[in-house]
Structures are given as C-alpha cells and as structure tokens.
Homo-oligomer: A and B are copies of this chain.
Amino acid sequence: MTKRDESADGDVGSTVVGQVNGLEVPRYAGLSTFARLPRLEDVERYDVAVVGIPFDSGVTYRPGARFGPAHIRQSSRLLRPYNPSLDANPFGAQQVVDAGDLVANPFDIVQAVGEIEQGASSLIAGGQRLVSLGGDHTVTLPLLRAMNHAHGPVALVHFDAHLDTWPSYFGAAYTHGTPFRRASEEGLFVPGSSAHVGIRGSLYDRTDLVDDKGMGFQIFSCVDIDKVGIDVTIERLREHIGDRPTYISIDIDVLDPAFAPATGTPESAGLSSRELFRLIRGFAGAQLVGADIVEVAPAYDHAEITGIAAANLAYEFLSLFAL
C-alpha cells in the first residue's frame, strides 16, 4: 500500500502521518493531495489543515481561480520534509492534512461566503490552524470571519498588488475587490496593526488611499520597499503586528507577472519570488493563526511556475506553524 513517513509528534505525543515517502513512491505518482499528505479522513486528528476553496465568482477580470486548488496540489509534489531556510520540519512537528475542497455555490456569492465561513470554522473548531488555497480574494472575508470566531480580531497582513477595499462592484458587496472593506465594517481585523504589502498599479482615485487609511491599514507599497529594502520592511511589519494573533493573506498577484503569470488582474513591476519568500519568512516567531494564498488562475500558467510559487508559499506557512 501507500508508504508514508511517520514520526513522533512532540506536541501531542502521538504519531504523525507524513507525506508519501518520496524514496519509495516516485513524486509524480499517486493522487494529488497537497504535498502528498494524508487526507483529513485518513488520520484520526490533525494540527493543521490545508483546504482548497475553488470559487471564483467574485472576479472582475480574468476568471479561472476555481481551478487553483487542483493546480496548486499538482504543483506541490516536489515539497520535501525539511525546510532549511526556517530550520523546520513542517510535516513532522505537527499533523498536517489535506482537507479537500470546501463547496461554494458558484451562482450565489452570498451563499458561497456562508458556506466558506462555515467550512473553515468547522476545520479550526478544535484549535487547529488553517492554510487556505483559493479561489479568488472573495474567500478571505469568510476566512477572516472564521478566524474571528476562534481568535477575535486579528492583525491582518495582506500581500497584494491591490488594496481590495473597494466599496462594491456592480452592486455586489462580496467580490474579490471588496473583502477588506467588509472586514473593516465587521471589525474583523485590528485597525492599527494591519497592513497591505506590495501595493502598486493604477487606482480609481486618490481617495482610494484616503479611504483605505481610514480603515486602519498601513501601506507598504513596492515603491516603499524599493526605498527601504526587504529587511527594514520586515522589521516594520513585525513592529506593526507585535504579538497579536496574525492572519496573512497572499494574493499571488503581489508577485510580478513574470513570477506569477497565472492570475486574474496582473500588474507590472511587482515583487520577485525571492523577495516575497524573505518577507514571509520574516514572520518567524509571530503569532500566526492562519493564512491563505489566492488568485491562482491556472489557465494562464506556464510550466506550473505560478502553481509552484503558491505551493511553496503554503509550505512556508506550514513551516512557520511548525517552529
């Protein structure tokens, strides 16, 4: 049968079921669970769930992020057990599972948002942590709601080319351009401790920035990062969030289109993948309670470069959890 890594889980004293062993089953073989981890129904308990949210009815330009979870899973086959950049064993120090995909109605955004909130809440009801794979950015609103049920308002660190704090779009309150406006109205994040990172590109109006500031976000734009560098940016972000429970949401379009072509609203002049990974690793030691990676639209990918970036970002989050 399937040959999996097993190891003692220090936290709970029980055995952890790890990846299918890459030395016994070639990495291109077997079903496409995330990082070849066990499914939720294959283990008795878990510490961290990776869940897909195949929903893209909130997009305003290129659709297709509904295929994101399947694509990121397929692109995660090369992930191995040890992360040297953080000196972490993400699959050995904790039980990680692939929880499959949440069902979200593609024709009723309001219902979908409710389904996602309920599904995510259920997955973390026992104190587990969650890494969600979108889907479009609409999904972050219900994820933040679920986080709030468990942890109260979070320090929200949002990596994106765009602010995503529009009031509404074509009469719809819930879209991929509005999650953080709604989150602000619902008090889901701590105003003075939240941030956008990687912002760039054209806006509708100068007042977009004023509105955004009014919601309590600090902006670390690509222009800002060019001025101070990655290390100082990390330092300031860490000061900004302090030791609050922190949630990180990554819109893959924070990367330059060269590094992430497969996304719905690409903007020129973004971060390199190495810069983004440095920024994420900068959260080592923070009180991270959950994270998501959204807006991977596979029909626009080439050679899985976007999928591989997304899979590795999820792996960094799992490593941060494992520290």
**A315 and B202 in contact, given A27-B61, A78-B267 (Cβ under 8 angstroms):** yes
Contact between A204 and B22, CB atoms less than 8 A apart: yes
Contact between B28 and A39, CB atoms less than 8 A apart: no
Q: Which residues of B contact A202 (CB under 8 A)?
A: 78-84, 315
A26 within 8 A of B: yes
Which residue from B2, B64, B108, B302 sits with its C-beta under 8 Å from A63?
A: B64
Q: How far is the CA of A41 from the CA of B39 in the complex (A)?
A: 12
Chain A residues numbered 273-323 whose CB sits less than 8 Å from any CB in chain B:
273-274, 276-278, 299-305, 308-309, 312-313, 315
Q: Which residues of B contact A24 (CB under 8 A)?
A: 103
A118 within 8 A of B: no
Chain A residues numbered 247-267 whose CB sits less than 8 Å from any CB in chain B:
256-259, 261-262, 265-267
Contact between A302 and B172, CB atoms less than 8 A apart: no
A11 within 8 A of B: no
**A54 and B29 in contact, given A175-B107, A308-B266 (Cβ under 8 angstroms):** yes
Q: How far is the CA of A189 from the CA of B63 in the complex (A)?
A: 32
Q: Which residues of B contact A130 (CB under 8 A)?
A: none
Q: How far is the CA of A170 from the CA of B111 in the complex (A)?
A: 11
Report how many residues on chain A are interfacial, defined by Cβ distance under 8 Å. 103
Contact between B269 and A277, CB atoms less than 8 A apart: yes
Q: How far is the CA of A23 from the CA of B256 in the complex (A)?
A: 25
In the assembled complex, the CB of A92 is this many whole angstroms from the nearest CB of chain B, namely 9
Contact between B204 and A80, CB atoms less than 8 A apart: yes
Q: How far is the CA of A210 from the CA of B71 in the complex (A)?
A: 34
Contact between A30 and B305, CB atoms less than 8 A apart: no
Which residue from B67, B100, B171 sits with its C-beta under 8 Å from A30?
A: B100
A203 within 8 A of B: yes
Q: Copy number in this complex? A: 6
A66 within 8 A of B: yes
Contact between B312 and A269, CB atoms less than 8 A apart: yes
Which residue from B29, B62, B269 sits with its C-beta under 8 Å from A273?
A: B269
Contact between B82 and A204, CB atoms less than 8 A apart: yes
Chain A residues numbered 45-84 whose CB sits less than 8 Å from any CB in chain B:
52, 54, 56-58, 60-64, 66-67, 69-70, 73-74, 77-84
Which residue from B60, B84, B171, B299 sits with its C-beta under 8 Å from A206?
A: B84
A31 within 8 A of B: yes
A185 within 8 A of B: no
Contact between B270 and A274, CB atoms less than 8 A apart: yes
Contact between A39 and B29, CB atoms less than 8 A apart: no
A192 within 8 A of B: no
Contact between B31 and A305, CB atoms less than 8 A apart: no
Contact between B29 and A32, CB atoms less than 8 A apart: no
A87 within 8 A of B: yes
Q: Which residues of B contact A74 (CB under 8 A)?
A: 32, 70, 74
Q: Which residues of B contact A15 (CB under 8 A)?
A: none
7 chain-A/chain-B pairs, Cβ below 8 angstroms: A32-B32, A78-B267, A82-B205, A105-B171, A107-B175, A261-B303, A268-B313
